[in-house]
Structures are given as structure tokens and as C-alpha cells.
Amino acid sequence: MKDEPQEIYLDNNATTRPIPEVVDAVLGILTTGYGNPSSAHQRGSYARRTLEMARAQVASLVGASEDQVFFTSGGTESNNLALNRVSEKEARHLVTTETEHSSVLKKARFFEQRGIKVTYMPVDYMGRVNVGTLKNALEESADLVSVHWINNETGTEQPVWELGEVCRERGVAFHIDAAQAAGKLEINFNDMPVDMLTFSGHKIHGPQGVGALCVKQSDRVFPVLFGGDQERFIRPGTENLPGVAGFGVAAEIREKDLLEIKSRIKALRDRFEERLIDVFPGLCINGDKENRVCNTSNILFSGVDGMALMAQLDREGVICSQTSACNSRSPEPSHVLLAMGLSQEEAFSSVRFSFSVLNTLEETEIVADKVTRSYRKLLEFEGREVF
């Protein structure tokens, strides 16, 4: 029987593999550290200390204070909590972009169905919002501007400092979806012109099912759920203590080695693209190559079906993707790439590779070889010119 190829995982924008320290922290809570942080006995007291230690670790990663951090079930819930303030206001106007994560766009469409005004700012061919576009959108009163810092499909970085300054000048609250930024960029929440920031544990080698909402003024956040006084009533319900503990450990480890990790991952991503472009000089990298997060490479493989390329690579043991994992079962082309001006055919021909600290240079070279062979094979099958 032929041996299965060794898996090389390059879908780290979808989720990351938990590091051993995180697994140990989660198992420690599940086996010996269990307890309800709201309980008055010793085990509850231990659980509360664990919870607050993780809050301090997560806050430190993004330059927030502990009292600004609220734990949630992940980025989707965090984003919904942040956007929920719009429905509680009188003016009721949300400004966002055409390329946001589905947790923002679907909430925006929900608002529209209920008579709330939503302005969708266009992006340029690199996926970036122009500051002038935001100024125009804010000519009418608005309650909230919500923009992702890093696009999950292309890695393009938005000019959040400039956008935030515009919001501050106009007196409009500013929310950043930092799911793909936290742990990849240096962040100091309290130095930024930002009112709310959201991110997830599983993007930085923590557990799935846990995230955070950072808020500068908690009285401006309105809960979605109602129940106990956990997370100061913003997110009631017994806390996911194993997930929170693992999230805290992941945040602490990432903060400690952030600069070295960024450099190492970027070197892998750049080497991968260099290898492919050496063979296929006309290959197009989607997004802003200058203002891009360190780990993401979204490539247009002209002339072939991206799903077919992914399937071929999957058989070769290379795990990659086309769009956000939240939308990957949909046959629709990427809304992000379409908003950037790509045709449907070009969007369907694009594939995303996202690296992590657990990848190696050897893996990068192997994947570059496999992508080269698979792309050539598909071009030949389609009867197209082989580079």
C-alpha cells in the first residue's frame, strides 16, 4: 500500500494547530483545575484566579488593560457584540467595507432588513480603503465604523490609524476586527484611535471556541445574551475556562517572541512566492504586497480552476484554501476578490496559502515544488500554454 504523503498545513488563517503548552493548559483545567469561577468555594477561587490570569495575558498581547477585555466564544460573537451598539442608538447608521468577514457583513444585512442604514465602503484593486472614502461616508451622522485590520483572504492591511483618526475627529465610534492581526502585528490598543477591538484564540495556536472583545468604554457595549453577571454582564454564562486558559497561554507565548515569529513566517512566505514566480513570472499575487501581513499569500493561478488545484494539492498532502473557512462550502466566488475588481473566473482561480510559526523552510520548498507540478499538470489538462 502506498504511503500517504506527509501533511503540510498552510491554512493557518482558518485555524492553527494548538501548541503543546496550550494543550497542557487546557488538559490541566479539564482534569484537575476544573471549577466554576462564580463559585464561592476553594475550587471556584482557583478557577477565578485562572480566569483573571488569562485575561491579563490576553490584554498584554494587544496593549489593553485587564478591565477592557471581555471573553467570548470567538471572533464572530465578539464582532456581533461590537456591532450590536448600532441597533441601540437613535441615528442607527453603520459604516463598513465590502470585504469584511461574514460575521460583520451578515450582521450588516440583518440591520438593513430592520431599517438600519448601512454604508459599504468600496476598496481599491489591492483591497484597501481610501481615507477619503471614509470621510465621504461620514458626511451623514453615523454610530459606528467597523473595519477589519487584516483581510483574512489576502492579508491586506487597512490604514486603521488614519481611519481611526477620521472617526475620532467626527466623534464616531471605531471598531477593528483584528482576528488576523493579533499575534502578527504589534498592537497597543490604548494608544490607538480605536474604541473596540476583537480577535480569536485559535488564530494564534490557542483553542477554538474562545475569543475576546476589547472595549475602552464598556457602557457603550450592549449584550446579546442575558443571564448571570459573568464578564460584567456583557457576556453572561459560565466561562469556557479550559479555552480561556489556553488562550492566555497562547497569547503570552506569542507576545514574548512576536518580532522573531513575524520575521520567520515572512521569510517562509516570501521564499514560497519567490520560488513560484521564478518558474511562472506572470503569476499574480492578489492584494497589497507592501501593506500585507507576514503570513498570507493569495495567488491567482490563471487558466485553471482553483478548486481543482486545491484538490490536487490535498491529495499531495498540502492543505490550503480559497476563501474564508466560514464561506468555503459555498460555490460562490470570493466576495473579497470580486470587490477588488477580479472577475469571477479570476476569483475562482485564486488560492490562499497561510503560514504559521510551526511551518519550516523544508516544508516551504516541498510545497513550492508540489504547487509547480500541480499547476503545470492542470494547465496541460486544460490545453493551455505551460510556462
Domain boundaries, the chain: 8-17+258-381, 20-256
Amino acid identity at 201: G
Low-confidence spans in the chain with pLDDT less than 50: 1
Residue 386 DSSP code: P
* pLDDT attached to residue 63: 98
Buried b (16+ CB within 10 A) or exposed e, 322-357: bbbeebeeeeebbbbbbbbebeeebbbbbbbbbbbb
The three-point CA angle 18-21-22 to 5° equals 45
* pLDDT attached to residue 224: 86
**Distance (Å, whole) CA 313 – CA 374:** 7
* Integer-rounded Cα radius of gyration of the chain: 21
* pLDDT attached to residue 381: 76
**Distance (Å, whole) CA 123 – CA 52:** 40
Q: Which residue, among 17, 37, 15, 19, has the nearest Cα to 240 in the 3D structure? A: 37
Residue 354: all three cell numbers together: 497561510
Q: For residue 256, how far is the Cα from the chain centroid? A: 20
Residue 246: all three cell numbers together: 489556553
In the CATH scheme, what architecture does the domain 8-17+258-381 have?
A: Alpha-Beta Complex (3.90)
Asked if 188 contacts 63 with a C-beta cutoff of 8 angstroms, the reply is yes
**Distance (Å, whole) CA 288 – CA 123:** 11
Instruction: Centre a 10 Å sphere on the Cβ of residue 100 and count the other Cβ atoms it contains.
Output: 24
Strands 196-200 and 173-177: parallel
- Cβ contacts of 297 within 8 Å, gap of 6 or more: 155, 269, 272, 273, 285, 352, 353, 354, 355
> Are 8-17+258-381 and 20-256 in the same CATH fold?
no
* pLDDT attached to residue 280: 96
Q: Which residue numbers are catalytic?
A: 326
Strands 318-319 and 144-148: unpaired
Asked if 141 contacts 95 with a C-beta cutoff of 8 angstroms, the reply is no
pLDDT in tens, 343-369: 999 999 999 999 999 999 999 999 999
Which class is domain 20-256? alpha beta
* pLDDT attached to residue 1: 43
* pLDDT attached to residue 266: 98
- Cβ contacts of 382 within 8 Å, gap of 6 or more: 303, 304
**Distance (Å, whole) CA 241 – CA 207:** 11
Identify any residues that bridge with 353 across adjacent strands, giving them in sequence order: 297
* pLDDT attached to residue 346: 97
